Structure 1
């Protein structure tokens, strides 16, 4: 019975350890193997491509080499195959930081907890710098220190006050230097890009010079025409107001045009077929159009004299118009008798169509009958009918009708 609580406690302990050991969802763990990790401690900053990306979790030894475990934020994870790490100086004096360079994005992803190859450059310590000084340099340095001691002697209080007041300034300067040391890779990249930009400008010096000259000339022209520009700007509000009114009327016009376009759509859909049918006709018209050139030339000559003819006819047209207006009633009266007039002209034309060696001649046949007597009391002989008011066209056997098929009204 006592084994059950012990078992429960063991499972809880393992779960707690797993929770403590398991990485957070917001962190990406990775390992770096280095020949040494001098100056690198837990909590040291980790840079990825020059940006602050995490910190060192712990530093341990494995197979005689330094094993650095780091944790990166998800913004810089995961890393890719080909990534490398190196220890760089955070400042001239102080701890170091780990600089990681990620591999190409197209390379395979390094899983969480993977290992990267690292390298360490030979650090330059202060004692190595002092050892590099030759005897003469050390002697001058010693005389400098003694001179400084004589200068400071008796002024210790003033120097103390100066150092105390310079503390905030030196602290601010230290922060600036620390920021420069932390953002060194980013600053380096910025300087490289500026160098590339300056190099490009130098290579295109002539083009830049032409652009600057053009801008200078354009500025001069603008300065000379500022009065016209000022007048145009004064008119601009009224122009914008008119444009606003015009644009305000556009929606109504569009609403009216859209139904019209919808109605025209069937006709426009037929236009391609009509165009295909017209293509042979237009091809046949080309020779005819070519033959019309002489006619068009003659027409051009005629049109040159047409204005004078129209000017001359302008004086005669009013009188002609009044004459036609006065003849209109008579013509309207004679119009139903058109068959008789045409028949009379046809009879006279056929009678005078004979021709001999002397010229044209006409034969006239005068019939005589019972109705020819002058003293006829009005009694018609058998077989004859008297019609004192014949209908128009009845004599010619063609009763008159108008264009609508109606008789005389």
Structure 2
């Protein structure tokens, strides 16, 4: 073999070169013919998601001519085969596996790509709820529509209609000849706003249709649910009837309330007008409060552990305590109602008491002093008077003020004629009149008076004058 190749090396190289060129040309031709080798072919083999579709007619559908399968205008596969079964065309679609699967409610429309009947299949993959289609499964003819040719439409017309259509076409050709096409174009331009508004109306009608469907569906669910609540509905109707009857009984009150409503609204309007100035100040104030409000966030987060720790105390201690004190609170409510009757009188009493305390606490200007000044003096004097006691009782202290004429009268006229008062005067240890009142006339005591006075007390022991009189001791 090697010797033969060496002998015919030039021919072998030429043959090999021609084989490579043939393979390249063949591959190019096959690629343009949409030749798809099966998956078992190495390197260039490709696997597809294959699904079949039934069509009433597959006119102008030719496999291998680049006729595609599109979803929303995007090519997802090619037409692989067309055959006839039971008077219907069966088209095999070779789809890329990344677009698989399609669903059982998928629909197909056979449409021309150009005026020369270069066809393609427009595929709607359907809804997931219908379930996926297995490979090699078939879409029924009820979910497919073929292309309709103009001659099929014209074939449905009778002879007179065809004649009138022929006259219409001829008249249109004459009208569009010359400058008629430009006029028609301008006419169509004037219909642009109408077409735009019509499109908006159509879109709103379609939206309304969806809303109507939704309302009907919701009403059905509501009616179904209400069908299971007939007893509650009867109670609702009965309660509503009672409410409306009560409202009708309050007709006069409602009329009076409605009659007062305009004045209330006027006052509300006036109040809102006066609040405009406040709202103007609240805006800057609230803006200044925002940093503080933002700063509250970390503080509130820090209080969360405290709140968690106090939850058991609130749940286990405060709530039971609150339930236990409810009877007491109810009793206190009745007591509070009784107190509310007395409260106006207590208010007047405390008002008078407040005025009295204000009078005591008042300190006038100038040299005069208020009552509190003399109260402290009285406190000191009371402690001085009542601060001593012995076995006989409290010792009363006193201060007797006697003027010089009164002292002279006491010594000249009263003491000589009243032995008891004379004894008490001696016990009080009064100062000598000569020292206290040097200008008073000195008394002249007659012997008889002196003797009688002395005789009245000659049996009494000589006592020392004491500065204090004890309670319970009488002379």
Shorter-chain TM range is: 0.3 to 0.5
Asked which structure has the greater CA Rg, the reply is: 2
TM-score by length of 1: 0.48
Highest RCO, 1 vs 2 (Cα 8 Å, sep ≥ 6): 1
